[in-house]
Amino acid sequence: MAATGADEAVVTLLVADDHDLYRRGLQMVLGQDDRIRIVGEASDGLEAVALAVELVPDVVLLDVRMPRLSGLKAAARIREQVPSARILILTMSDDETDLFEAVKAGANGYLLKDMPGEEVSAGILAVAAGQSLIPPSMAAQLLTEFAQLSKRPSGPGAGVPRLTDRELEVLRLIARGQANKDIARDLFISENTVKNHVRNILDKLQLHSRMEAAMYALREKLIDQG
């Protein structure tokens, strides 16, 4: 069981999945981690939105396919109504279309249901800490989807905010699915410096997540699609 330090905040979590057995199993797994507390459960998308508004959790874990309202549509509504909440999409599907739609809905991460429990726990904590999360095996698929947006005749960077050379370097590595610690290692800078660059990139582009930033950059031809 992971211990929680005296000055370490507990991450509050809302779980939305229409399979009761899966929710029970997830509750058992996450119950072993003192850093995470499940504050609500929903069995459909509409209930998830209502509970998110009521509880204002740190993280909302949403299954893609649920009755009454899909997880992707619920994600978009939660993003609008509870902007402080971080959103993780949970699914059995490794379909790149679902992944791409999750990014467009404002999700901060994407987890596959066959991941070990400790990876789900780590993913929740990472997203709560401001990271974006996709399975490494799906990073190439996401880049392929990004590239499909890059068909405009406009020149590189036309009409977009100016990024510094270092911010462009960070953005290239974000687009390849690298985490902050990996970017810090590759660029020989501290992880805190990477976080500052990511924050500046999102502020300049007026976007919510690292994945949205990468998608935007490829669409505007700010970075090499190769």
Q: How many helices (H) and strands (E) does the chain have?
A: 10, 5
Residue 224 has pLDDT above 70, yes or no: no
Q: Give the per-residue pLDDT at 147.
A: 54
Cα angle value 207/77/109 (rounded, 5°): 55
Domain of 120, CATH number, reads 3.40.50.2300
Q: Is residue 115 part of a domain?
A: yes
Q: Is residue 2 part of a domain?
A: no
Domain count within the chain? 2
Tokens for 165, please give them.
């050379």
Q: Are 36 and 13 in contact (CB under 8 A)?
A: yes
Q: Name the domain boundary from 133, 154, 188.
A: 133
Residue percentage of the chain with pLDDT more than 90: 24
d(CA 4, CA 2): 7
Whether residues 116 and 164 share a domain: the answer is: no
pLDDT band, very low/low/confident/very high, at 7 (cuts 50, 70, 90):
very low
d(CA 183, CA 191): 8
Q: Name the domain boundary from 98, 133, 168.
A: 133
Which of 7-21, 114-128, 143-157, 187-201 shows the lowest per-residue confidence on average (mean pLDDT)? 143-157
Q: Is residue 224 part of a domain?
A: no
Mean pLDDT of the chain: 79
Whether residues 47 and 76 share a domain: the answer is: yes
Residue type, 171: L
Q: What is the pLDDT of residues 115-174, one digit of tens each?
A: 787 888 888 998 888 777 776 666 655 555 555 544 444 444 444 567 888 988 888 888
> Is the Cα torsion angle 58, 63, 66, 69 positive or negative in sign?
positive
Q: What is the pLDDT of residues 73-128, one digit of tens each?
A: 999 899 889 989 999 988 776 665 666 677 777 788 888 877 787 888 888 998 88
Whether residues 20 and 76 share a domain: the answer is: yes
Whether residues 92 and 146 share a domain: the answer is: no
Q: Name the domain boundary from 109, 133, 157.
A: 133
Domain of residue 97: give its range.
11-133
